[in-house]
Chain A
């Protein structure tokens, strides 16, 4: 189930084709283009908006995502380094994470709207918030789990502290960092769509409700499909990237 990485493969295409046929028959049966637009109509709507507003929406969404994700992931990573280096920082940061983590990013949306107003900042701020936790937790766990013997060996062989941190500890923690980054990406994508839909002024989430107000459900369905395809692609890219960068790690090899 998790191994459907090969994108172009009949095992992948055939079931989706069957799903499309069922969808088509169902829409013929319902015969209501607002309730269930037929798949061909959704595809042509997709082509139509792809030549008009869709690229702009995708760009806006990716911009929100990349801004928020970059800030969130890099500050989560830096905070984790801080926590590992100084124990008072760790006490405080761990407490903050434990307090804040149960509060889902969604619950912050109304407050973000109240402070920043409906617009671009709401999705960005929420993605920063939501992507911070997985990368922080995983980086701390990764550094803690580095084999002490490797560090001792390196320092016995005369490596400097600087060298040990950069060339021994961080690479050993890298697989954890990457799985944190992937988790961050997954939640970021979900929160991005929610934040745009509820409190954004642009992007795919916002667009889908915009169509809904005109009962243009075929276009709305096309946006939903785009969200799915993009979400899948982002996860796939990150998986490839982490496999490429941490190919030496036994964890990666296990995942295949």
Chain B
């Protein structure tokens, strides 16, 4: 209980200090401040732009994640099961993994245009590697003795694949999915920001959170709204992470961790 009050007190103190120092400084249009952010919340909460943008970004993340998940699981299983393919393909995967996903934006824009597709490519690129790695390790870590035991006890092929292999690999695959969702959410914002700043705007209908932030930064010049958007990104990111944890717990309750 004492902990709780220390925290509350600290947050309140920080907020007051922040507000006072910005007001004393006097440049209210340059620095964000708590009261301004609070006002922005009500101003923007009444409009639909923020929700449209969040939905747009989330849709892109979801499409990209599904692509990355399918590719990642397939590659992970193949690499984990066949040593020759593992040796042949892992240098390529390691090389590609070293390239920051964001660095592909110029090429992605060339290939797929400035619509959402380029952003989806970047997000899928960022999201696929944690899934490949975790699926690979999940397949590798399936306990041999479980397979032998099931075989000895006369398990059918289906039972062996589904009840033994799939069920022991699933928790680890979902750990990868959770990490990759985190990457995906960070990179959709990066991709949309880069496309908004460097290329052009397109129609307001296509705005994701990133483009919305660019618009707010350069055209509306509303720094308090920017902080609000940033907090929104944090809250949505937290929500996604929580959701992925729940999915893992519900879908593989037999996993210990």
Contact = CB atoms under 8 A, between A and B. Distances in A.
A107 B94 contact: no
A26 interface: no
A133 interface: no
Contacts of B235: 102
B66 interface: no
B181 interface: no
A37 B92 CA distance: 19
B105 interface: yes
B171 interface: no
B214 interface: yes
Nearest to A230: B98
A11 B103 contact: no
A245 interface: no
Contacts of B194: 194, 197-198, 209
A189 B100 contact: yes
B67 interface: no
A190 B214 contact: no
B234 A107 contact: yes
B241 A197 contact: no
Interface in B60-87: 79, 86-87
Interface residues of B, number: 60
Interface string B34-63: 000000000000000000000000000000
A157 interface: no
**Majority DSSP secondary structure for residues of B touching A:** helix
Given A114-B226, A220-B107, A92 B6 contact: yes
Contact of A114 (B30, B92, B98, B237): B30
Contacts of B214: 110
**Majority DSSP secondary structure for residues of A touching B:** helix
Given A110-B216, A228-B99, A198 B193 contact: yes
Contact of B102 (A102, A197, A217): A197
A232 B31 CA distance: 38
A34 B126 CA distance: 24
29 contacts: A1-B133, A4-B91, A14-B88, A16-B91, A91-B3, A102-B235, A103-B233, A103-B237, A108-B230, A109-B193, A110-B226, A111-B32, A111-B223, A111-B230, A113-B217, A193-B103, A194-B190, A197-B103, A199-B197, A205-B100, A205-B102, A208-B103, A211-B106, A212-B198, A221-B107, A224-B104, A228-B95, A231-B98, A235-B98
User: Which 10 pairs across A and B sit closest by C-beta, in order of nearness?
Assistant: A103-B234, A212-B106, A228-B99, A104-B186, A232-B98, A193-B100, A107-B233, A102-B238, A194-B102, A1-B90
